[in-house]
Structure formats: structure tokens, C-alpha cells
Amino acid sequence: MADKDLYPAIEPYDSGFLKLDSLHEMYYEQSGNPIGVPVVFLHGGPGAGANSTHRRFFDPAHYRIVIFDQRGAGRSRPLGDVRDNTTPLLIEDIEKLRRHLGIENWFVFGGSWGSTLALAYAEFHPEQVRGLALRGIFLCRKSEIDWFLYGMKELAPEAWRKFASHIPAAERDDLLTAYHSRLMNPDPAIHMPAARAWSIYEGSCSTLLPSPETVSAFSADVLALGLARMEAHYFRNNIFLPDNYLLENVGRIRHIPAFIVQGRYDLVCPIRTADDLVQAWPEARYHIVPDAGHSAMEPGIRKHLVAGMDRFRERG
């Protein structure tokens, strides 16, 4: 994959685990400029975790780059644990990390589920947000969850067939319940095959053109288990917020500088959702990438995300 649009690879200057409660510990890291302008990266999923490439969206000479794995995801411990795992708790985790690092306010950058969490965090804590960078908008409405579970078969029938075929035909009318029961089973012989099937399905639909590298990454055990288990958990619980909460409360954040990047052919989070958000938030800068799907690594999406964060440099 060409990555010329990204900043050079860097290593963290600080990393550690933040105790969240009696069960969860959250991995976090800082890179870039220790006295720079803070930006926090919110990964997708929920449950996907962050990786070293995510540091590269930001100018390391300007930004103090904060990356963390949400509870139950990636390097946070315990992996894939849905106990005490809700959107309000994730929002409080971000605040706990901000206070722990002594940061007054920061830019918030998130794609896919990261855009969901970024919007929720900003609506709860607008005074802590300098600006929002959002990609592949997901508001977790019932129509969007139904699209993920069933609608994508209209454009990706092969991927959907593999996804659905993991579940016996008699249970396919409610794929979410069927997958949830398997993903929560304590036996790895049951939950890991289900996790891989779910995660590979999402990975297969994340890029405009087929990407074996993306599918391979989504099939890895840590990503697959965190992603599939957390997504099923949050989808079944409507992300633990009232219906349409994020869109109905966008008035709380319309004063915050923001840009939105959306792939025209995003299968996972179709453009209709981004359009709904922009109609409610006309002040946000909106970029439709005409030759891109869902992934942040799509060339056009990657380019616009970096450019948007470069523009934010002018705001200090």
C-alpha cells in the first residue's frame, strides 16, 4: 500500500496503562511533540483497537498525538470483555485520560465507530473539544445496523454469503442474536470462528477494490475478537444511548470547527448517514471522496484526513 500521503512513521515517547475501574485497564500512548497541540485518535469498531499507522495522520512537529485502545479492545485489558462496557463509560474514559495527561482541551479525530464516539464525546463535553475530524460517519441507528447485517448483501453478496453461512439457516432471520450468542460463548472453539467470520466480512467490504491485506488484518485473532464481540454487544444495546441521540443533539457542537470525509462508495457506513449529519450541521466542512470505500487507508480518504489536520494547525 502506498502511504506517501501520511507523515513518516514515529515511535511513542510515552506509553502505559490507565486503570479505569476494578476490571478494565486502558492502553494509551503519546507521540509527536510533547509540548504540541493535543489531538486524540478514536479507533473504529467498536473493538478494533489502534495501531502504529494511526500516528501518521498528524504532523509530529505540531501535534501531541494521543492514541489509546478503548476498553475491551486491542492492548487494553481484558480483551473482548463486555462487562461495564458502554458508550457513557467510554466517554468518561476519554475524560479520565485527558485529565491524567494534564490536557485542557484537544482535537478529536475518529472514523467509523470512532466518528460515533467522537460525536458522543463532543456532545457530552463540547468545552473540551478544539475541533473534530470525522470519517466514514456511523450514527448507529437501527437502519444502519440492519444495513450492516443484511443490506450489504445487495452489493457484496459473496462476502455476505460467507458471513451468513457461519450461522445455521434456521437462525439467519436474526443474525445479530445468533452471532452474539456465539461470540459471548466462553469456549474459544465457538467464539473465535464466529469472530473471524464477522470481522472478515467487515474487512472484505471496507475498501473500494479488493484488498487481501485488509482482509488478512481483520482475520487476526486480537482484532477479530475485539471487533466482533464489541460490535455485537453495542449493536444489541443501541450503543447505550437513546434512539437518534447523536443527530438530535448536534446543535450542542455546531460551533466547533469540524471536517467530515466520506467515501462515495462506502459499503460499511453508506454515505446517506454522512449526508444526514451534514444536513443537520451545515457549518462542517464536507469532503466526498469519489473513488473510495470505507477504510481510512483509501488513498483519497487518507489524503483528505491529513490535509484537514494540517488546516487545523492554523487554529493553534
Is 312 a residue whose pLDDT tops 90? yes
Residue of 24, 54, 233, 294 marked catalytic: 294
Residues 267 and 135 in one domain: yes
Q: What is the structure's pLDDT at 181? A: 98
Same domain, 134 and 256: yes
Can you give the pLDDT at residue 201? 98
> DSSP class of residue 77?
B
Whether 7 is covered by a domain: the verdict is: no
CA dist., res. 153 & res. 103, Å (int): 44
Q: pTM value?
A: 0.97
CA torsion angle for 204, 167, 44, 205 (degrees, to 10)? Answer: 20
Catalytic residue list contains 62: no
Mean pLDDT value across residues 34-45: 98
Residue 112 appears among annotated catalytic residues: yes
266 annotated active-site: yes
In this predicted structure, what is the pLDDT of residue 314? 85
In 3D space, the residue among 316, 272, 309, 300 whose CA is nearest the CA of residue 137 turns out to be 272
Which residue among 266, 287, 295, 304 is the active-site one? 266
Question: Are residues 200 and 65 located together in one domain of the fold?
Answer: no
What are 43's three cell numbers?
479507533
Considering the domain architecture, whether residues 56 and 129 belong to the same structural domain is answered as yes
Of 211, 239, 267, the domain-final residue? 239
113-165 pLDDT per residue, tens:
999 999 999 999 999 999 999 999 999 999 999 999 999 999 999 999 999 99
Q: How confident is residue 297, by pLDDT bands cut at 50, 70 and 90?
A: very high
Give the model's pLDDT for residue 4: 75
Identify the CA nearest to 132 among candidates 121, 124, 141: 121
How many domains is the chain built from?
A: 2
Phi, psi of 266 (to 5 degrees): -70, 115
Assigned domain for 9 exists: no
In a domain, 4, yes or no: no
Last residue of a domain, one of 215, 239, 263: 239
Whether 117 and 253 map to the same domain: the answer is: yes
- Both 213 and 90 in one domain: the answer is no
Parent domain of 262? 14-140+240-315
* 303 and 158 in a common domain: no
- 122 plus 23 within the same structural domain: yes
pLDDT at 316: 64
Is the residue at 191 inside a domain?
yes
> Domain for residue 92, yes or no?
yes
Residue 111, C-alpha cell as written in the block: 472514523
Instruction: Examine the fold and report which residue of 199, 215, 239 is the final residue of a domain before the chain moves on.
Output: 239
The pairing of beta strand 63-68 with beta strand 37-42: parallel
- pLDDT of 180-226, one tens digit each? 999 999 999 999 999 999 999 999 999 999 999 999 999 999 999 99
Q: Of residues 24, 31, 76, 112, which has the active-site annotation?
A: 112
Domain assignment present for residue 61? The answer is yes
What pLDDT shows up at residue 134?
Answer: 98
User: 76 and 171: one domain?
Assistant: no
